[in-house]
Structure 1
Amino acid sequence: MATKQKATSEETEQSKKSDKRASVKRVIELTMRLLNGEKITYNRWLVIAGKTTKQANGKDRTFWRDIADIAAQLSETGYAKQLLRPDRDPNVPANEKIYQLVSTPDAAKLTQVIALAHIVLASRALNKTEMAQLVHVLQDTLALNEQEQFKLAIAGDQGSYVTSPRRPPLLDYLRQITEAIARQQRLVFAYRNAEGTPKKHEAQPETFFFDNYYFYVVMRLTPDADVLMFRLDRITAIDQVKPGMAPQQQFRLREYRQQTYLLAVGEPIVFRFKCWIAAQTALERFPGSTARVDPKTGVVVITAQAREKGALMWLLSQGADVQVIAPPSLIKKIKAHHLAAVERYN
């Protein structure tokens, strides 16, 4: 009799351990599904629970216990999301009410995400489909009650989004190029230049960046070659991936930006000009530039660097509000352009 009772007790204990393991496994599965964005209803829970338990009774109590355990752990660990429980809507059956994880409301984050969305939309970098996808990714980082505020805040900007009608999909190319950079691989790709002429290239991407409405990919034909710039939207196909090598020198994006923020044409030059417009305006146009006041005339003199063609275009656009004083070669070109303009009107 004692032996039978002992066996029964051991079976009961074993059953409790089995039930506990099944309960832990079920809650972990529910949590993972919620983290992956799945929406859980009581009916859905019944399907999941059926994988780990055969109990016919008490499922309602187990469901509420599972939900309470998940909510408590999210709160105790300070996780950035919370379990959203459904409203008490009598028109929705209890077994169809949705439970899901949503971001915790954060006013500062909402403002930051709205700002990011406006910057992204102003870039005109992607076609409308990919831009909508990117905006949706930003929206999904917010709590549900913040998402409506987000949509209202960017509605005008998104509704007036303008980009080239021929802009191809770019995000998949960005993924492939990112992987090639990380693995130091070479790419064989088809490229269509500004004149529309197609050509095959083989080069190794080193980095990529965004500037003036376009993504640019920095590549080298060989590890010791000078860098070449390719516009991502002109790549029409990536045909092959090959092993590559580390470049012998690194491309310096900061230096490039200081020289090409206007137009990436011409040789880098250092130049000086007198400035009768707001000095800060000129300084912002030429990152890394410096300003001093001529003690004799009180006029601001700015020293800057850029690629010659881009600098020339900006300086000409300022008319009589700037006067180039060095180098002589740039002064000569400025004079020639202004004289040619006067001649046009004569």
Structure 2
Amino acid sequence: MTAKQKAEDAETKSKVDNRAGIERAIELTMRLLKVEKITYNRWLDIAAKETKQPNKKDRTFWRNLADIEDQLDKTHYNKRLLRPKRDPNIPNAEKIYQLVNCPDKVRLVSMIALAHIILASRALNKTEMDQLVTTLQSTLALNEQEQFKLAVAGDQGSYVTSPRRPPLLAYLGQITAAIEQHQRLVFTYQNAEGESKIHEAQPETLFFDTYYFYVVMRLKPEADYLLFRLDRITAIKEVKSGAVPQQHFRLREYRQQTYLLAMGEPIVFSFKCWISPQTALERFPGSTEKVDSKTGDTVITA
């Protein structure tokens, strides 16, 4: 092999190595942005490399981390690279590196306020509500997450909702997409008496009001709107093409009503229920029902 060929081969190998190094650094960055925790051993798997060094140190690994840290600083990205604390009991190859949010006092207070609001809404079952609170918590820096947990612990620990509340987040996502894309839905709806019926309608607006999500739909474009409670939709069977709404539901006008602030000493009261008893029981968590033996009327105690 001539000297020229050797030089060309060396140049080609250098280009291949540089390309592999760039791809490796990009993949490492993307994994960190996806909240993956990286160890040296994990990096070896990503890089498809082997090391013969007994102390598990590799200059390429440290260079990749240093480059990522430098770019985070230069671009003023709102995350930083969390390096592991010095601990002689943890081998270098198993120490964890991850991206974490930078502290932000305004964001912390905002997330605490949002958590209290959604917990007071009683909108979701316990599992989905815990999931939502955890999502809010994950947007904060690690030290802020502890402050957040302490701030909402009492509210979250005393969370009360209807024991029959079904999972809602999946349907909420489907209906939101249908509204955006002007689609019609074929769905099963269970009324207050527990009777199920299949409807076909086009959702127009989704909003929350006093413990429940409501979906505004029209059976036909020219028809008046109907309100369906999201928690009573038991199945979405089909999605069809719809049309741009010819008329629009006026949510602001709908909200023009009086709200009373709960003040004073708590009382227990009973009333005759002329609507579905289940609707009343869901509106007053912990309430009970009985039938008056003399009149046959349903009486709710709350």
Name which of 225, 234, 237 aligns with 1:236.
Answer: 234
Residue aligning to 1:190: 188
Structure 2 residue aligned with 1:11 = 9
> How many residues of Structure 1 are paired with residues of Structure 2 in the alignment?
259
How many angstroms apart in 1 are the aligned matches of 2:214 and 2:96? 44
- 1:77-115 CA-partner distances (Å, limit 9, x unpaired): 111111110000111111100000111111111111111
Task: Show the counterpart of 1:144.
Answer: 142
CA–CA distance in structure 2, aligned partners of residues 68 and 226 of structure 1: 62
Give the aligned partner of residue 161 of structure 1: 159
Aligned residue in 1 for 2:108? 110
- Decide whether aligned partners of structure 1 residues 155 and 99 sit closer, same or farther in structure 2, where only a CA change above 3 A counts: same
Shift of 1:196: 2.3
Distance apart, 1:145 and its partner CA: 1.2
Hey, what does 2:255 align to over in structure 1? 257
Deviation of residue 54 (structure 1)? 7.0
Report the identity percentage: 69
Match of 1:88 among 86, 97, 117: 86
Equivalent residues in 2 for 1:44-59, closer than 5 Å: 44-50=42-48
CA distance in 2, matches of 1:235, 1:48: 45
Query: Deviations along 1:236-295, whole A, 9 cap, x unmatched?
Result: 111121221122111121121124x659xxxxxxxxxxxxxxxxx8xxxxxxxxxxxxxx
State the alpha-carbon separation in 2 of the partners of residues 220 and 246 from structure 1: 12
State the distance in 2 between where 1:43 and 1:91 align. 17
Pairing partner for 1:42 from 40, 43, 52: 40
Q: Is the 8 A contact 2:44 2:50 kept in 1?
A: no
CA contact (8 A) 2:119 2:159 kept: yes
- Which of the residues 122, 125, 146 maps onto 1:124? 122
Which residue in the other structure is 2:280 paired with? none
In structure 2, distance between residues paired with 1:22 and 1:188:
51
Deviations 1:178-222 (A, max 9, x none): 111122111111111222222221111001000101000000011
2:63 to 38, 62, 65: 65
Structure 2: gaps (5+ residues): 262-302
Higher Cα Rg, which structure: 1
* Aligned counterpart, 1:200: 198
User: Using the alignment, how far apart are the partners of 1:89 and 1:119 within structure 2?
Assistant: 41
Mean alpha-carbon deviation: is it higher for 55-64 or for 90-99?
A: 55-64
CA drift at 1:55: 7.8
Alpha-carbon separation, structure 1, partners of 2:149 and 2:51: 45
Which deviates further from its counterpart, 12-21 or 65-74?
12-21
Distance 1:100 1:179, change over 3 A: same
User: What's the secondary structure of 1:258's corresponding residue?
Assistant: coil
- Which consecutive unaligned segments of at least 5 residues does structure 1 have? 264-280, 282-346
Relative distance call for 1:197 and 1:54 in structure 2 (3 A) is closer
Aligned to 1:304: none
1:179 aligns with 2:177: yes
Aligned partner of residue 206 in structure 1, secondary structure: strand
CA distance in 1, matches of 2:84, 2:37: 11
Change (3 A) 1:55 1:4: farther
